[in-house]
């Protein structure tokens, strides 16, 4: 490392402090953004490390306790719920952008209005989700829907999904506190609560395994823990830390709810396309290859996606920071920060992918046991997908923060169509690794390369 590079690195570390910078100047605002980003990233990465550690512990425990098919059923149910992350109609992300922009203009009254109206809409949505699901629940053969063979798995599929659905619906309005904290560039607080939820989930999982509970109780243990922590976070934040921002019924208006819905509609469309593109994998595998292959794919996914969670937490603070910088017309800071985030991601994620691929036998043998054989081709393909997805995430933060939504929607809709087509074709042709080959090819051509070209053009403008 050159002396100049070392000096630059040390200068950047100086922003990591508890005392805020003076934001009355442009340089002070820049340093304060980096300070908040750094604190949020460090706290989030530390908290998520705890979450990943608990996940790594629960995977072998639950895999060996449930068996391959019932574990595959669990992962498939998780995918169904993950595909419904768009169920808040994009209001969470729209609220975060609204809070970030109002924060950039120091408009506290606007923040309070946005929170009250968003909370009202999300409560209505949560109630509608539960009403629709339980109206249809008795008329569906859930064992056949998830393509499970054993009688035990078929019997457990319906109750397990119902419990997961209740936890998910409760989490929709409860999660509003995280969006507010992110919009205020205080994401480190929500990450600490998330880590606490992971620890609680691990403890409850160990209890369920100890008492030999079934799949439904395991789902309850892991599904309810994060919701409990979201509710506690909301209580502490709105009742003690920021009572001035607590949802107030006097701020709820039809016009206000329409405005928050309009803000979220583009995120809603984007979330639908992303959810279908990324979380359809387990459903495709279950339908074409069977639940056993879902378990195999999910274990590899857990290894790589755990680290992507850390990367995501490190770069997610950039989203509201971009939004606040945009409100202050600080274009130079925006472009400089984007370039730094891409280069840093490449420097970290590519070596990690190579290490995971080369040492996959040792890693999986130690983690889940030698009796579970993971094909090298599957791990190698996921390593490539892991690197591409990590780089693409840095561009997503830029687009989200700058509210460049229509371009993203066009790309993601094209990617959704091409990726599902490619996954179905390649899985049928060459088996499980083909799913990742389809993802890689479609992502490069329809998402990553166009994003790089767009940013290059934006920079020149």
Q: What is the pLDDT of residues 331-340, one digit of tens each?
A: 888 888 999 8
pLDDT, tens digit, 9 for 90 and up, residues 421-437: 999 999 999 888 899 99
* Count of Cβ atoms closer than 10 Å to residue 26 Cβ: 12
With cut-offs at 50, 70 and 90, classify the pLDDT of residue 451: very high
Burial level of 233, CB count in 10 A (0-12/13-18/19+)? buried
pLDDT, tens digit, 9 for 90 and up, residues 76-102: 777 665 555 556 778 888 898 889 888
If you write DSSP's letter for every residue of 258-282 in order, what string do you get? HHHHHHHHHHHHHHHHHHHHHHSHH
Please name which of 252, 274, 250, 257 lies closest in space to residue 125, comparing C-alpha atoms. Answer: 257
| Position 11 in a domain | no
pLDDT at 10: 37
| Position 15 in a domain | no
| Position 106 in a domain | yes
d(CA 198, CA 202): 6
d(CA 170, CA 156): 22
- The answer to whether 386 touches 357, Cβ cutoff 8 Å, is no
* Count of Cβ atoms closer than 10 Å to residue 152 Cβ: 16
- The answer to whether 365 touches 376, Cβ cutoff 8 Å, is no
CA distances from 156 to 165, 217, 223, 231 (A): 14, 10, 16, 28
* Count of Cβ atoms closer than 10 Å to residue 244 Cβ: 11
pTM of this structure: 0.70
Over residues 391-416, the mean pLDDT reads 91
Residue linked to tokens 């992303």: 274
| Position 399 in a domain | yes
d(CA 49, CA 369): 22
| Position 88 in a domain | yes
* The two structure tokens encoding residue 308: 């992507």
Share of the chain above pLDDT 70, in %: 91
Asked whether the CA dihedral 166, 170, 172, 177 is positive or negative, the reply is: negative
| Position 128 in a domain | yes
pLDDT, tens digit, 9 for 90 and up, residues 270-305: 877 887 787 778 888 888 888 778 878 888 888 888
With cut-offs at 50, 70 and 90, classify the pLDDT of residue 174: very high
In the chain, the number of structural domains is 1
| Position 279 in a domain | yes
- The answer to whether 419 touches 438, Cβ cutoff 8 Å, is yes
Query: What range defines the domain where residue 101 resides?
Result: 24-460
d(CA 71, CA 75): 6
Residue linked to tokens 């391959």: 68
| Position 193 in a domain | yes
d(CA 214, CA 85): 26
């Amino acid at each position: 490392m050159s002396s100049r590079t070392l000096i630059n690195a040390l200068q950047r570390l100086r922003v990591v402090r508890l005392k805020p910078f003076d934001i009355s100047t442009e340089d002070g605002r820049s340093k304060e953004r980096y300070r908040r980003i750094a604190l949020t990233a460090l706290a989030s990465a530390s908290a998520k490390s705890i979450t990943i550690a608990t996940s790594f512990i629960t995977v072998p425990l639950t895999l060996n306790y449930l068996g391959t098919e019932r574990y595959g059923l669990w992962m498939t149910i998780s995918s169904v719920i993950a595909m419904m992350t768009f169920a808040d109609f994009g209001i969470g992300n729209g609220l975060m952008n609204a809070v970030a922009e109002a924060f950039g203009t120091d408009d506290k009254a606007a923040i309070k209005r946005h929170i009250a109206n968003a909370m009202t809409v999300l409560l209505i949505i949560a109630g509608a989700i539960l009403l629709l699901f339980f109206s249809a629940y008795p008329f569906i053969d859930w064992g056949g829907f998830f393509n499970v063979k054993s009688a035990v798995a078929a019997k457990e599929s319906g109750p397990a999904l119902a419990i997961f659905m209740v936890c998910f619906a409760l989490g929709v309005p409860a999660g509003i506190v995280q969006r507010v904290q992110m919009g205020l560039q205080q994401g480190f607080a929500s990450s600490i609560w998330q880590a606490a939820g992971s620890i609680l989930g691990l403890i409850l999982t160990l209890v369920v395994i100890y008492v030999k509970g079934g799949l439904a109780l395991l789902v309850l243990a892991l599904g309810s823990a994060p919701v409990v922590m979201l509710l506690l976070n909301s209580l502490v934040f709105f009742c003690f830390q920021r009572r001035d921002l607590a949802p107030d019924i006097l701020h709820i208006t039809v016009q206000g709810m329409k405005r928050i819905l309009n803000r979220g509609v583009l995120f809603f469309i984007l979330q639908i396309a992303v959810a279908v593109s990324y979380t359809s994998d387990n459903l495709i595998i279950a339908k074409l290859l069977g639940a056993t292959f879902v378990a195999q794919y999910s274990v590899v996914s857990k290894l790589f996606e755990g680290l992507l969670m850390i990367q995501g937490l490190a770069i997610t603070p950039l989203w509201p920071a971009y939004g606040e910088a945009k409100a202050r017309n600080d274009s130079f800071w925006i472009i400089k920060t984007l370039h730094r985030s891409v280069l840093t991601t490449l420097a970290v994620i590519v070596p990690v992918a190579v290490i995971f691929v080369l040492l996959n036998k040792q890693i999986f043998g130690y983690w889940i046991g030698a009796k579970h054989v993971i094909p090298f081709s599957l791990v190698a393909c996921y390593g490539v997908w892991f690197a591409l997805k990590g780089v693409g995430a840095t561009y997503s933060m830029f687009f989200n923060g700058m509210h460049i939504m229509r371009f993203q929607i066009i790309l993601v809709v094209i990617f959704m169509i091409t990726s599902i087509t490619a996954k179905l074709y390649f899985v049928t042709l060459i088996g499980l690794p083909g799913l990742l080959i389809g993802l890689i090819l479609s992502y490069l051509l329809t998402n990553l390369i166009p994003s790089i070209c767009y940013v290059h053009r934006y920079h020149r403008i």
